[in-house]
Amino acid sequence: MAQELRLPTTLQDARPFLHVSGMFGAARGCIAVMAPLAMHPTNKNELLAWDLAADPAELADLKPEAIRERLFTPTAELPEGVSRLAIKGVHLNKSPMVIGHLKTLTDAQAARHGVDLALAERHFERLRALPDLSALWPAVYARPAGGEALDVDEDLYGGFVGNADRRRLNDLLRLSPSELALARTGFDDARLTELVWRYRARNFPDTLSDAEQARWAEHRAARLMEGEGGALTLQGFFDRIDGLAEGVEDDERAQGVLEALYEWGEHIAPEH
């Protein structure tokens, strides 16, 4: 339903919209009143939007470094008294549930889900009154100069896959695991050779040679145990689960989910 979303040329042209997403949680009915901020500077299929349940006034004084910290730092690791910013990406190429007419949400539905339309309107007017923010977003989402190269599993925007490489990938997907292990790739995009190898290691570990098994074990240990490339370590993963568990002691379902995640983490832990 992304076609109902009016994309702004300027912040003053923006209009609020309803967005339904599991990211907002069941307590809010998985719904929020959002306002467009700008198109993502590197992903043209993503709209940056502000959750109008929060006051946007602070955006006027924040520098790109502060915005990055409050967008990309896990909540548990933010300094005391600092909260995550109410910015969410709406991925237009994934058919997001967006509704351009706020009146679609009745007063009764808004009350049931805790959506304060009057507050959202006030926050929207404050957002419109902010100075031009267009120069902020390229700086916020810029890759650090001279920083460590992204791991291929995370390099989502390092370039689109060419048509020839896409045909090669489709051909590889038709192969059996044993045929895939012997296949020559010959990709134009160097990232794909590593990605295909990791795909085989994750899904068909029995096809790995002794040398490949050792290489895969080293890769997993470097990421999961040492945090290579900025990866979340298993210890960090378990710490987050412990932190979340403190707030859901009386919720059996939530406790069950966290226990399952903990068991999954133990299951994937590299052997020492």
Where does CATH 3.30.1520.20 sit in the chain?
A: 2-140
Rounded to an integer, the average pLDDT of 93-111 is 85
Query: Is the pTM for the entire model greater than 0.95?
Result: no
Rounded to an integer, the average pLDDT of 172-189 is 92
CB 12: neighbour CB atoms within 10 A? 11
Where does CATH 1.20.1280.70 sit in the chain?
A: 148-225
pLDDT per residue as tens digits for the range 43-101: 777 889 999 999 999 999 999 989 988 887 777 778 888 888 999 888 776 677 888 88
In CATH, the architecture of 2-140 is 2-Layer Sandwich (3.30)
3: confidence class by pLDDT, cuts 50, 70, 90: very low
CATH code of the domain occupying 148-225: 1.20.1280.70
194: confidence class by pLDDT, cuts 50, 70, 90: very high
β pairing state of 87-91 and 97-99: unpaired
